[in-house]
Amino acid sequence: MTDLVIDAASDKIFFSIIKDHKSYTTEYPNSRENFDKMIILFNKFLTKNDTNINKIRKIYVNRGPGKFSSLRNSISFAKALSMANNVELVGFTTVDMKNENDYKNLIELDNEDKLTKDLINPLYSS
């Protein structure tokens, strides 16, 4: 199965697909313009990596810490994808990752029930 990671807690917007123990990631500048066209960027990412939303088993979204507008937009986007496609949504924090942008660790943490499920609340930086 395929897992999707959405991370906009830093100065970049990351989409990552993890399937068959391989990871495919793309990044965009964290800007209002890119949030305005986030669905277009997301669809291009899926097409480039030969997948679609129906193949996604889980969506992992970074809940912070990060900027208010970045987290609000990325979490809302992830929740909408999750609800519209009946896909499980899991929240993680930047601290949960072993290395920056190494999202494979999230699956291990999820299997150990160490990540947030259901109610995904943002952690804003001060």
The pLDDT, as a whole number, for residue 47 is 95
Q: What was the pLDDT predicted at 34?
A: 94
pTM of the complete model: 0.92
pLDDT tops 80 at residue 42? yes
> For the segment 63-119, what is each residue's pLDDT rounded down to a tens digit?
999 999 999 999 999 999 999 999 999 999 988 887 766 787 888 889 899 898 877
Antiparallel, parallel or unpaired: β 88-92 and 56-62: parallel
Q: Which residue has the tokens 């395929």?
A: 2
Counting residues of the chain whose pLDDT is more than 90, the rounded percentage is 68
The DSSP element (H or E) to which 48 belongs, if any, is: helix 38-48
pLDDT of 126 reads 63
pLDDT higher than threshold 70 for residue 50: yes
In sequence order, the 6+-apart residues with CB closer than 8 A to the CB of 25 are 14, 15, 16, 17, 101, 103
State the CB neighbour count (10 A cutoff) for residue 19.
17
Q: Which of 15, 95, 79 minimizes the C-alpha distance to 6?
A: 15
pLDDT at 12 over 70: yes
pLDDT for res 39 = 94
pLDDT reading at 26 higher than 70: yes
